[in-house]
Amino acid sequence: KLDNHPSGRHFLHIPGPSPAPARVLRAISFQTIDHRGPEFGQLGLKLLADMQKIFKTKHPVIIYPSSGTGAWEAALVNTLSAGDHVLMYETGQFATLWQKLADRLGIKTEFLGKPGAEGWRYGVDAAMIEERLKADTSHQIKAVCVVHNETSTGVTSNIAAVRKAIDAAKHPALLMVDTISGLASADYRHDEWGVDVTVSGSQKGLMLPPGLGFNALSPKALEANKTAKLPKAFWAWDEILESNKTGYWPTTPSTNLLYGLHEALDMILTEGLDNVFARHQRLAKACRAAVEAWGLEVQCKDPAVYSPVLTGVVTPEGVDADKLRKLIHERYNLSLGTGLGKVKGKMFRVGHLGDCNELALLGALSGCEMGMKAFGIKLKGSGVVAAQDLLL
Ligand code: PLP
Dump pLDDT digits (tens) for 219-263.
999 999 999 999 999 999 999 999 999 999 999 999 999 999 999
pLDDT surpasses 90 at 6? no
How many Å lie between the centroid of ligand 1 and the Cα of residue 12?
A: 17
The answer on 251 and 339 residing in a single domain is: no
pLDDT per residue over 324-362, tens digit each? 999 999 999 999 999 999 999 999 999 999 999 999 999
Ligand 1 pocket check: which of 153, 181, 198 to mutate, most ligand atoms within 8 Å of Cβ? 181
| CA separation for the pair 372, 376 (Å, rounded) | 6
Distance of CA 295 from the midpoint of ligand 1 (Å):
30
The pLDDT of residue 93 is 98
Give the closest residue to 388 by CA, choosing from 357, 358, 360, 354. 358
Q: 241 and 279 in one domain?
A: no
Residues 91 and 206 occupy one common structural domain: yes
The number of the ligand 1 atom at minimal distance from the alpha carbon of 148 is: 3
Nearest Cα to Cα of residue 52 among 226, 269, 259: 269
Secondary structure in 3-state letters for the chain: CHHHCCCCCCEEECCCCCCCCHHHHHHHCCCCCCCCCCCHHHHHHHHHHHHHHHHCCCCCEEEECCCHHHHHHHHHHCCCCCCCEEEEECCCHHHHHHHHHHHHCCCEEEEECCCCHHHHHCCCCHHHHHHHHHHCCCCCEEEEEEECEECCCCEECCHHHHHHHHHHCCCCCEEEEECCCCCCCCCCCCCCCCCCEEEEECCCCCCCCCCCEEEEECHHHHHHHHHCCCCCCCCCHHHHHHHHCCCCCCCCCCHHHHHHHHHHHHHHHHHCHHHHHHHHHHHHHHHHHHHHHHCCEECCCCHHHECCCEEEEECCCCCCHHHHHHHHHHHHCEEEECCCHHHCCCEEEEECCCCCCHHHHHHHHHHHHHHHHHHCCCCCCCHHHHHHHHHC
Domain boundary among 242, 269, 296: 269
Q: Measured between alpha carbons, how far is residue 255 from residues 34, 35, 268 in Å?
A: 9, 7, 20
Is pLDDT of 2 > 60? no
Residue closest via CA to ligand 1's atom 12 equals: 68
Angle, CA of 59, 155 and 71, to the nearest 5°: 40
Whole-number Å distance, alpha carbon 94 to ligand 1 midpoint, is 7
Share of the chain above pLDDT 90, in %: 98
How many other β-carbons are positioned within 10 Å of the β-carbon of residue 281?
16
Query: Which atom of ligand 1 lies closest to the CA of 150?
Result: 3
pLDDT at 128: 98
Q: Which atom of ligand 1 is nearest to the CA of 213?
A: 15
How many whole angstroms from 205 Cα to the centroid of ligand 1? 12
Look at residues 269, 292, 314 and tell me which one is the last residue of a structural domain.
Answer: 269
CA–CA separation, 88 vs 339, rounded Å? 22
Report the relative pairing of strands 334-336 and 11-13 from DSSP bridges.
parallel
User: Does the annotation flag 349 for ligand binding?
Assistant: yes
For residues 146-160, one letter each, b for 16 or more C-beta atoms within 10 angstroms of the residue's C-beta and e for the rest, the string is: bbbbbbbbbbbbbbe
- Which ligand 1 atom is nearest residue 71's CA? 16
CATH of the domain at 184: 3.40.640.10
Same domain (yes/no): 191, 228:
yes
Residue 5 has pLDDT above 90, yes or no: no
Number of Cβ within a 10 Å radius of residue 213? 25
pLDDT for 321 beyond 90? yes
The answer for residues whose C-beta is within 8 angstroms of residue 171's C-beta and 6 or more apart is: 133, 134, 136, 139, 141
Inter-residue contact 363 to 283 (CB < 8 Å): no
Distance from Cα 180 to the centre of ligand 1, integer Å: 6
Which of 66, 88, 93, 94 to mutate for ligand 1's pocket (most ligand atoms within 8 Å of CB)?
A: 94
**Main-chain phi, psi angles of 213, to 5 degrees:** -120, 155
Work out whether strand 213-217 and strand 197-201 pair parallel, antiparallel, or are unpaired. antiparallel
Distance (angstroms) between ligand 1 centre and the Cα of 98 equals 9
14 with 126, same domain: the answer is: no
Q: Ligand 1 centre from 214 Cα, in Å?
A: 12
Task: Find all residues with CB under 8 Å of 30, minimum gap 6, and list them.
Answer: 256, 259
What is the per-residue pLDDT across 99-116, written as a single tens digit (0 to 9) for each? Answer: 999 999 999 999 999 999
- Reported as a single tens digit per residue, the pLDDT across 31-65 is 999 999 999 999 999 999 999 999 999 999 999 99
Residue after which a domain boundary falls, among 239, 269, 299 = 269
Q: Are residues 61 and 141 in the same domain?
A: yes
Exposure b/e, 283-301, CB count within 10 A at least 16 = b: bbbbbbbbbebbebbbbbe
Contact call for residues 103 and 154 (beta carbons, < 8 A): no
Ligand 1 pocket: which residues have CB below 6 Å? Answer: 16, 67-69, 94, 147, 151, 178, 180-181, 201, 210
Same domain, 93 and 178: yes
Output the CA 108–ligand 1 centroid distance in Å.
22
Q: Assess whether 171 and 215 both reside in one domain.
A: yes
CA-based nearest residue to 279, from 384, 208, 202, 205: 205
User: In angstroms, what is the span from residue 380 Cα to ligand 1's centroid?
Assistant: 34
Determine the residue of 66, 69, 145 to mutate for testing ligand 1's pocket, defined as the one with the most ligand atoms within 8 A of the Cβ atom.
Answer: 69
The model's pLDDT over 292-311, given as tens digits with 9 standing for 90+, comes to 999 999 999 999 999 999 99
Q: Tell me the best of 12, 151, 340 to mutate to test the pocket of ligand 1, counting ligand atoms within 8 Å of each CB and taking the most.
A: 151
| In a shared domain, residues 229 and 260 | yes
Which residue has a Cα nearest atom 9 of ligand 1? 68
pLDDT (tens digit per residue) in 80-94: 999 999 999 999 999
Q: Look at ligand 1, atom 13, and give the residue with the nearest C-alpha.
A: 68
Both 385 and 240 in a single domain?
Answer: no
Q: How far is the CA of 93 from the centre of ligand 1 (A)?
A: 10
pLDDT tens figures, 183-222 = 999 999 999 999 999 999 999 999 999 999 999 999 999 9
Q: What CATH number did the domain enclosing 320 receive?
A: 3.90.1150.10
Shared domain for 356 and 241, answered yes or no, is no
The answer to whether 202 and 254 are in contact (CB under 8 A) is no
Q: CA-CA distance, 102 to 92, in Å (whole number)?
A: 16
Q: What is the number of domains present in the chain?
A: 2
Range of 323's domain?
Answer: 2-19+272-391
Ligand 1 nearest atom to the CA of residue 182, by list position: 3
Residue 3's pLDDT is: 64
Ligand 1 atom showing the smallest separation from residue 149 Cα: 3
Band (pLDDT 50/70/90 cuts) for residue 313 is very high
- pLDDT digit string, tens, across residues 161-187: 999 999 999 999 999 999 999 999 999
Q: Are residues 244 and 308 located together in one domain of the fold? A: no
